[in-house]
Amino acid sequence: MVERARWRDVFGHAEFRALFVAGVLSVAGDQLARVALAVLVFDRTESAGLTALTYALTYIPDLLFGPLLAGFADRYPRRSVMILTDLARAILVAAMAIEGLPLLAVILLLLGLQAFGSPFNAARAATLPAVLPGDHYVLGKAANDMVVQFSQVLGFGAGGAIVVAVGTSGGLLLDSATFLLSAALLAVGVHRRPAPTGGTDAPRRSYFKDLSAGLSLVARTPKLRTLVILATIAGFYVTVEGLAIPYAHEIGQGPTAAGLLLAASPAGAVAGMWLITLWPPERRMRLLGPLAALACIPLALCFLTPGLVPTLLLWGISGMASAYHLPTSAAFVQAVPDSQRGQAFGVASTALKGSQGLGILLAGLVAEGSSPSFALGVMGTVGLCAAVAAGAAWSRARRPGPEVAGTSPA
């Protein structure tokens, strides 16, 4: 049985500390850039529609460039990929801060900024298993994911205060500085490692053949394929984010209640990730399916249109159960050969974000013809059925049997 790691062991790794702080800076910079750009666009256009469109554009490059650019993390030294993409993002954000820059130019710079995030995130995700062995990696991943969730709870408020204090251009320049500091930390704190290889002397395939191989690896390996399916269950319960404001209105509440509802799920996720790290590794893997189902059940209860406090509890429980993503993503990365981790991470990340975007879109369409509570109830019910099926597939995939060459058991 694999021994459960402890937090002090994980943070005892100097390389992990550098990667962790660099990740915190990257998340903080992304949040600050979104707030600053939203303010910039609204100040110039006074258009809520264009402001929302600009904000939405910060997510689109992940879908377009996720699998396409993540593969650079498998072809070049990952430390170099992280440093170079941080420097590129610092330059792009600094360019956005130029006064009087045409709005179209700002949007193009924004798309470039988000595109460079794909190889950075893939390289960082692929480096962590080399830095943290065994269950130490799971706790390291938990620390990173909890920071991301905290940024959702607190980031927008802090970002707004910073923009008010230093102005839009000042906020963007501060964002540029976070990327420069991240690059410096990686240069000093992370060891040089050669570009990953497939363990053979054969010439490297073309980039697009590597891309195809990454897709094929995930598709033909039962454990990897099922782990991705389990991750995409998020597309059902993430719909609370898209419908929180109209749902608050439906139950007779205002913007303050909507803010509390938006914070309930990520706050629950932070608590859930902390709790799940206390479990033995084998229990985490056994309960992936039940936890995915539990993440959807609270939404199904929204058919009853409970009041604010019961809804906060329900959405908090859903967020806690969604912590199954932690062992799911950790098992996925650990089961992929090192030479393909960046590409496989890009495939899985795109599947996850695509399911979330599609889920919110479908829930919005259902709510348009009915009500937010009905839409959430439908998504929760369908998600529960999908989670049960995915959990059964995971149980079958975990049974002892032949593995695809180059993979290891999750």
| pLDDT single digits (tens) 139-191 | 888 887 777 666 555 555 566 667 777 778 888 888 899 899 999 999 999 98
Residue 386 pLDDT > 90, yes or no? Answer: yes
| CA of residue 4 relative to chain centroid, distance | 24
Predicted local distance difference test score (pLDDT) of residue 404: 45
Burial of 133 (0-12, 13-18, 19+ CB in 10 A): exposed
Which tens digit of pLDDT belongs to each residue from 84-124?
999 999 999 999 888 888 888 888 888 888 788 878 888 88
pTM for this predicted structure: 0.68
Mean pLDDT of the chain: 81
Tokens matching residue 397: 């995939």
Report residue 10's pLDDT band, with 50, 70 and 90 as the boundaries: confident
Tell me how far apart the alpha carbons of residues 235 and 282 are, in angstroms, rounded to a whole number.
26
Tokens matching residue 318: 């859903």
Mean pLDDT of 215-243: 87
Residue 387 pLDDT > 90, yes or no? Answer: yes
Predicted local distance difference test score (pLDDT) of residue 50: 65
Residue 235 pLDDT > 60, yes or no? Answer: yes
Which tens digit of pLDDT belongs to each residue from 160-171?
667 777 778 888
Tell me how far apart the alpha carbons of residues 247 and 240 are, in angstroms, rounded to a whole number.
9
Residue 406 pLDDT > 50, yes or no? Answer: no
Lowest-pLDDT range, 330-334, 344-348, 389-393?
A: 344-348
Which tens digit of pLDDT belongs to each residue from 349-362?
778 877 887 888 88
The 10 Å Cβ neighbour count of residue 162 is 19
Report residue 13's pLDDT band, with 50, 70 and 90 as the boundaries: confident
Q: Which of 114, 67, 113 is nearest to 94 (CA)?
A: 113
Mean pLDDT of 120-147: 80
- First and final C-alpha spacing in the chain: 13
Contacts of 35 (CB under 8 A, 6+ apart): 156, 159, 160, 162, 163, 171
Residue 266 pLDDT > 50, yes or no? Answer: yes
In contact, 1 and 282? CB cutoff 8 Å = yes
Report residue 302's pLDDT band, with 50, 70 and 90 as the boundaries: very high
Which tens digit of pLDDT belongs to each residue from 189-226?
998 888 776 555 555 555 556 667 667 778 788 888 99
Percent of the chain with pLDDT over 70: 80
DSSP string, 263-317: HHHHHHHHHHHHHHTTS-HHHHHHTHHHHHHHHHHHHHGGGG---HHHHHHHHHH
Percent of the chain with pLDDT over 90: 25
pLDDT greater at residue 143 or residue 228: 228
DSSP string, 165-208: HHHHHHHHHHHHHHHHHHHHHHHHHS---PPP--SS-SPPPPHH
Mean pLDDT of 42-52: 66
Tokens matching residue 207: 């980039």
Tell me how far apart the alpha carbons of residues 303 and 12 are, in angstroms, rounded to a whole number.
47
